[in-house]
Amino acid sequence: MVEVQKIFKFLKEFSSLRYKPVSDINKQPWRLWLNELPQIPELSHAFDSNDLSEGTILKVIRPELLPCPSPPECLNEWLQNGWNSLSAQKVSLKEYIEKKVKNAERRRSTQKRVFHR
């Protein structure tokens, strides 16, 4: 057990030699002040009301995810499946669509028309 503690102590000291903690906020590569946070209902912090009695500094609520609005019907048929998924990074279009069109001369027969984008 003592050997294991010595190993961890060595690793801790070795790590502190390589990585000095940054104690000056201006030397940090990135920062965001609480007063710069967006003013949205899902996000609140103690400095909004200057009330620190609750002990909560930052509170974030998961927003309600709403479904994507439907596109116009003339565009909807060109969209690949999955366009309305929240995880979709890109909307893909079909290369072509096929429509059945009734022949005016022969009412019973149908033809397929191919439309390219």
Higher pLDDT, 76 or 109: 76
How far apart, in Å, are the Cα atoms of 82 and each of 66, 78, 86?
16, 12, 9
Do 111 and 103 meet the contact criterion of CB atoms below 8 Å apart?
A: yes
Domain ranges of the chain: 25-63, 73-116
pTM for this model (two decimals): 0.39
Query: pLDDT tens-digit profile of 37-50?
Result: 888 888 887 776 66
**10 confidence band (pLDDT: 50, 70, 90):** very high
Do 92 and 80 meet the contact criterion of CB atoms below 8 Å apart?
A: yes
